[in-house]
């Protein structure tokens, strides 16, 4: 059985501070080669996501890693001890030419590894974003197989005729799919058995956490992830195939609350996860010792933890709560799309992302509006002191209490109070009041904030010196935006105080 990574370093651009190894906050595609090496060697990460979705990418990554760091990867082979995993474009939302390049790159990387006498193939899994059906998984694997066969036919040597199969890691992002995961995975497992006369050795389903929050709000994102974990373990037992779930989490509560100082609580929330994404803020906005200590904790702890299992009735309650919470969140966000896109344009870039191309392309959408991706979306609201964790949440909690579901929610979302009050430290009530006088949607958020305080019996707001400094910086952002003055410095300094851009 192959080694299952516990920690997957990623290129998600949520860091406020500079990378410790180059004194730069913006990392280009060339820098990412060294970042991968340092994530493996210095931080001890097991896996690195090489992202082809919505960003520029250095296609010579395997060649450069092998030639620059030969001795390290001879001792720690990629594909055996360390893993480079491509997140590929989804051809159902993006044209296929970049996927063709990614697949040819994987195949030629296997040839190079063989030629240089490294372990081969170095890359044998790919992450398929926005997976919605078994058909997409099956067709992606078959496309790779066809390209591999064509390459074999044309070149007829080396690995060309040996390496023809790749395994897809389905990244599931919609709350309706996370709470109903069997129709995606079970047909794929049955197809595999029928077609190849054998069972899958294992499966690594990937639970999204950021995009569900962007699309549906905080509460649905958390409890849908928990529902997915429960269903995955039940399906794994029923099908007789080991599942090793991955979760994609950022540092702030809206995007997962996974950071070096909150790691024990976060893992308790998502108990049963086998691999956690380690995004840029986790790596670069915390003290090196805290980062390394947290990564060691994950490696030691994740394989031992068991998931919370929900009954079919409880899954239906989760779906009901999702619908309750989605309605006020969507109502407010649709009104604020222009505001959030204007604010997101002020967020300093951290990677060489491609331009957004509209709804369900590289950007994301809620209802009929197009929004920035999850990191600039989160950064936009935090930069004016209005954490997005509260949007729709207060109104949802009121309804949940009225229906007698609050005790269940607290069992399903263990850290709900902790997450909301952490976010609340960065609330700028003065900015919210001023914006509420201009736009009705912000009056709805004021209602959310008041209701959260009523439900949990505690006032939100800053209480330590760095929280007050954050409030002051977000006030600067508000007034400078009004005056047409550049706000990038204040945005970055505030982000450093909360230890994440978005």
Please write the tens of the pLDDT for every residue from 437-487: 999 999 999 999 999 999 999 999 999 999 999 999 999 999 999 999 999
Instruction: Please tell me the predicted confidence (pLDDT) of residue 225.
Output: 98
> If DSSP codes are grouped into helix, strand and coil, which group holds residue 164?
coil
Is residue 447 included in any domain, yes or no? Answer: yes
Q: What is the pTM of this model?
A: 0.96
Asked whether residue 323 is assigned to any structural domain, the reply reads: yes
Which of 34, 33, 43 has the alpha carbon at shortest distance from 9?
A: 43
The single-letter DSSP state of residue 242 is -
Q: What's the pLDDT score for residue 54?
A: 77
Give me the pLDDT at residue 153, please: 85
Does the residue 123 lie in any domain? no
pLDDT reported for residue 280: 98
Q: How far apart are CA 236 and CA 242, in angstroms?
A: 6
Instruction: Decide if 471 is inside a domain.
Output: yes
Q: Judge whether 432 lies within some domain.
A: yes
Confidence at residue 297, expressed as pLDDT on a 0 to 100 scale:
98
CA atoms within 13 A on the CB side of 121: 24
Phi-psi category of 216—alpha, beta or left, where left has phi over 0 and alpha has psi -120 to 50? alpha
The pLDDT, as a whole number, for residue 97 is 80
Per-residue pLDDT reduced to its tens digit, 26-54: 999 999 999 999 999 999 999 999 999 87
Report the SS3 class of residue 86.
Answer: strand
Long-range Cβ contacts of 239-243 (<8 Å, 24+ apart): 239/186, 239/189, 239/199, 240/199, 241/189, 241/199, 241/200, 241/201, 241/202, 241/203, 242/201, 242/202, 242/203, 243/202, 243/203, 243/204, 243/205
Bond preceding residue 121 cis, omega within 30 of 0:
yes
Paired residues of 50 in beta bridges = 86
- For residue 433, tell me if it sits in a domain: yes
Residue 485 in any domain: the answer is: yes
> Maximum CA pair distance of the chain?
71
- Give the separation between CA 212 and CA 173, rounded to whole angstroms: 6
Residue 399 inside a domain? The answer is yes
Domain total for the chain?
A: 1
Which residue positions in the chain have pLDDT lower than 70?
157-160, 354-368
Residue 444: give the domain boundaries. 317-498
């Amino acid at each position: 059985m192959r080694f299952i990574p516990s920690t997957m370093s990623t290129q998600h651009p949520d860091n406020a501070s500079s990378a410790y190894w180059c004194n730069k906050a913006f990392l280009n595609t060339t820098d990412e080669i060294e970042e991968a090496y340092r994530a493996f060697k210095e931080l001890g990460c097991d896996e690195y996501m090489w992202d082809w979705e919505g960003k520029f990418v250095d296609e010579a990554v395997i060649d450069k890693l092998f030639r620059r760091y030969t001795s390290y990867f001879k001792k720690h082979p990629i594909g055996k001890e360390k893993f480079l995993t491509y997140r590929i474009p989804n051809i159902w939302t993006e044209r296929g030419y970049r996927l063709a390049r990614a697949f040819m790159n994987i195949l030629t990387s296997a040839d190079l590894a063989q030629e240089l006498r490294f372990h081969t193939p170095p890359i044998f899994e790919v992450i398929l974003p926005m997976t919605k059906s078994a058909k997409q998984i099956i067709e992606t694997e078959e496309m790779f197989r066809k390209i591999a066969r064509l390459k074999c036919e044309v070149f007829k040597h080396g690995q060309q005729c040996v390496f023809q199969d790749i395994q897809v890691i389905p990244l599931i992002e919609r709350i309706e799919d996370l709470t109903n995961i069997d129709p995606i995975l079970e047909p794929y497992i049955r197809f595999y058995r029928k077609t190849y006369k054998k069972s899958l050795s294992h499966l690594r389903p990937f639970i999204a956490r950021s995009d569900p929050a962007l699309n549906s709000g905080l509460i649905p994102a958390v409890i849908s992830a928990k529902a997915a974990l429960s269903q995955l373990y039940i399906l794994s037992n029923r099908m007789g195939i080991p599942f090793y779930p991955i979760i994609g989490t950022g540092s702030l509560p809206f995007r997962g609350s996974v950071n070096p100082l909150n790691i024990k609580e976060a893992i308790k929330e998502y108990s049963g996860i086998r691999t956690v994404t380690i995004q840029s803020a986790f790596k670069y906005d915390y003290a090196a010792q805290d980062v390394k200590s947290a990564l060691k904790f994950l490696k030691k702890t994740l394989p031992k933890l068991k998931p919370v299992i929900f009954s079919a009735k409880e899954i239906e309650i989760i779906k009901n709560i999702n619908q309750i919470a989605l309605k006020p969140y969507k109502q407010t966000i649709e009104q604020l799309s222009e505001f959030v896109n204007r604010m997101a344009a002020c967020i300093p870039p951290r990677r060489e992302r491609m331009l957004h191309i509209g709804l369900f392309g590289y950007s994301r959408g809620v209802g009929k509006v197009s929004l920035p991706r999850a990191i600039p979306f989160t950064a936009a609201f935090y930069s004016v002191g209005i954490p997005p964790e509260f949007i729709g949440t207060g109104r949802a909690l009121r309804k949940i209490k009225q229906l007698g579901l609050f005790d269940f929610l607290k069992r399903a979302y263990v850290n709900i109070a902790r997450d909301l009050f952490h976010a609340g430290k960065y609330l700028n009530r003065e900015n919210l009041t001023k914006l509420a006088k201009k736009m009705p949607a912000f009056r709805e958020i004021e209602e959310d904030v008041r209701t959260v305080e009523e439900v949990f019996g505690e006032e939100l707001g800053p209480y330590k010196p760095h929280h007050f400094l954050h409030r002051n910086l977000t006030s600067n952002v508000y007034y400078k935006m009004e005056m047409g003055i550049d706000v990038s410095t204040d945005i970055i300094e505030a982000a450093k105080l909360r230890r994440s851009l978005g």
